[in-house]
Amino acid sequence: MIGANRTATLIRLLTERTGTGKLRLGPEERECVAFANRLRQLSITGELRAVWTHIPNELAGASDKKQSNLAKIRYAIGKAMGMVAGAADYVFLAESGSFCIEMKSKTGKQTANQSDFQAWCEMIGVPYAVARSAAEAEECLQRWQLLRQ
């Protein structure tokens, strides 16, 4: 029964409730969605031995003048609560430690904040990688031994 409860819990947490529909995604966003879909599958099947989440740094643009007042308020609250500009796109928590992956398009470059966050991770020994595709990000998980063989 524990196995069934585990699976039901993960399905509730990880089932994509809203698709991207007709949204036009950029190259980096498409790779992030592909990677997240793969992470959902690996989590539900028990192959991924980590808890994971996406850090919604793209919401930082809410401070932009074009954004609604509500978006600006949500951004300010996030910053006050500890949101760190440049945090990696994906954070993994496992029995063996924590791990970070920053997704970039094939030609994308890290921002200064992202480079600083990477340096912070490296200062305290948190493995950090920049991946340019969902497949490359999955290779990081294999290298970090977060996937069951």
Per-residue pLDDT tens digits for 8-52: 777 777 776 555 566 788 889 899 999 999 999 999 999 999 999
Rounded to 5°, the CA angle 73-79-82 comes to 140
pLDDT in tens, 92-123: 999 999 999 999 999 999 999 999 999 999 99
Task: Look up the CATH number of domain 26-55+86-143.
Answer: 3.40.1350.10
**Helical H runs in the chain?**
2-14, 27-44, 69-80, 112-123, 134-143
Q: What residue segments make up the domains of the chain, in order of their start?
A: 26-55+86-143
Q: How far is CA 12 from CA 16, 53, 83, 127, in A?
A: 9, 15, 26, 29
Tokens linked to 114: 């992202």
Mean pLDDT of all residues belonging to the chain? 87
The pLDDT, as a whole number, for residue 65 is: 61
Q: pTM, whole model, 2 decimals?
A: 0.83
Mean pLDDT within 53-67: 70
Rounded to whole angstroms, the maximal C-alpha distance in the chain is: 52
